[in-house]
Structure 1
Amino acid sequence: MGFLHRKTSKQTGKLKTLLGLAISRIAAVRRPRLARKSIATDDAFEMIEMYYKRLIENAAKLDKPGTIVFGVYSECTEEIREAAAAVMLVAGWCGELPELPFARTILADKFGSDFAEAAKDGTGIVDPMLKKKVTKEIAMENNIVVDFSELQDAVKDGED
């Protein structure tokens, strides 16, 4: 048991290091993007950076052995799960941050494959606002205009 716990602590240490590097790299990535992209892009980076910091601050909770419920340690708060899911979602999108695929692998190991798959798809776990901002960023990079107002109107009509 001690050996396994040590491995997890090493993984968490590596995760903290990777996310710390990603935070410092965001500043470098943000500058040229701001010159050629909208403020929404910067907002997405701010959200992503917030999630990195949340995971770094709560890394000790990722190491606690506990009951696994639906592939997730029960000690992890909803905030930690949301942050982990956001990191896993943006890992495939943000090529300027090469630390993220490694961080995603560590988080998938900690949270389980079901959680990782849901996070990668952005279903049910990731903040909808982050998903919108990431979608807009990807669309801008491919010269596609995305308008969520029609979708919001359709959702409102469906609720009536």
Structure 2
Amino acid sequence: MSSLNSLFNRSTFGTKCKTCLNLVISRIKLLRNRRELQLINMRKEMVQYLQTGQESIARIRVEHIIREQNILAAYEIVELFCEFVLARVPIVEVQKECPLELREAISSIIFASGRCSDLPELMHLRNLFTTKYGKEFVAGAMELRPDSGVNRTIIEKLSVKAPSGESKLKVLKAIAQEYNVEWDSSNTEAEFNKKYEDLLDGSASSVHQVQAPVIESSLVASASRDKPPVLISPVEDAEKPHVRGSPSSPAGSARAYAATKTNPSAQEHHSPAEEISCSSPSSSDALEKARVAIASATRASAAARAAAELAKVKITSQ
């Protein structure tokens, strides 16, 4: 009974495997014709972009062309592997383990099943091989383990990694040469060879350059805050003319403080009167007016005292 079941299972596996393989081969032929037409139209559009000088669009669209070319190449490899396995289905049925001569073909078919959505029959084949060889064998092919045996070319063609600038430039030159387009590839070549790390470094340096004046201004402001205030009389402050850029302004005080920092000896030998005289262009006139105001105030206070004494005398006499 067990021998009958095993024989029945073998015949079932062989029949399903042959059916799926034939369907994959037929579908690949249909898809190849459709994708080849799409690829021709895309290459013609690329010619128009190059002729009209729209190189920025061409540099982006060329990635789609490379992607289509890679898919067509992968379909061709899958078709060859399917035909190879189809011719050896009886050997696969008999042997319990995967034959060494079929390991690359079967592993590549399993790997392509998860990356070729246009070929749903590959998923059925993967399920059949999972039943036949176990989950570990299928997982090794899907995860590209070292002993998986997946074809390296099909791994490269089905990779989702963006194409390099060299490959894109090569395709653009081939299209221009095929359609006899006079196209100067120097700008595109320079764009592909541009190192974007340098752009990031440049932006960082520009940020430092912008922040440098802010730091310097903050240092000057802190220095001006640390400077001791200069005492000026109210009369002098009222009479002193407002001159732009004078030391009494914040900018002037900062510059004066910076000058005293650079020449400390001059700061040590200046007297307070000299500091006051240097604080304004017309300091001598202001001092003279201050003396006159003080004298008049003294006379006014003396007159007030005399009036007070006179009032006291009158009160006492009464």
Contact 1:48/1:86 (CA < 8 Å) preserved in 2? yes
Contact 2:70/2:158 (CA < 8 Å) preserved in 1? no
Whole-Å Cα distance in 2 between the matches of residues 61 and 129 of structure 1?
A: 26
Query: C-alpha offsets along residues 109-141 of structure 1, whole Å, 9 cap, x if unaligned?
Result: 112211110111233320111100111xxx3xx
Match among 63, 67, 73 for residue 93 of structure 2:
63
Q: Normalised by the size of structure 1, how large is the TM-score?
A: 0.75
Question: Which of the two has higher C-alpha Rg?
Answer: 2
Q: Quote the residue 1:133 is aligned against.
A: 157
Write out aligned runs for 1:17-28 (5 A). Answer: 17-28=19-30
Aligned amino acid, residue 85 of structure 2: L
Contact 2:23/2:121 (CA < 8 Å) preserved in 1? yes
Write out aligned runs for 1:43-122 (5 A). Answer: 43-66=73-96, 72-73=97-98, 76=99, 78-122=100-144
Q: Normalised by the size of structure 2, how large is the TM-score?
A: 0.39
Q: Quote the residue 2:10 is aligned against.
A: 8
Aligned residues: 134
The Cα shift of 1:9 comes to 1.9
Write out aligned runs for 1:30-49 (5 A). Answer: 30-34=32-36, 35-36=38-39, 37-38=65-66, 39-49=69-79
Contact 1:62/1:110 (CA < 8 Å) preserved in 2? no
The Cα shift of 1:85 comes to 0.7
SS of residue matched to 1:23? helix
Contact 1:85/1:122 (CA < 8 Å) preserved in 2? no
SS of residue matched to 1:53? helix
Whole-Å Cα distance in 2 between the matches of residues 40 and 96 of structure 1?
A: 14
Contact 1:18/1:99 (CA < 8 Å) preserved in 2? yes
The Cα shift of 1:97 comes to 1.2
The Cα shift of 1:87 comes to 1.0
**Structural RMSD (CA):** 2.1
The Cα shift of 1:65 comes to 4.1
Whole-Å Cα distance in 1 between the matches of residues 15 and 155 of structure 2?
A: 28
Unmatched runs of 5 consecutive residues or more in structure 2: 40-64, 167-318
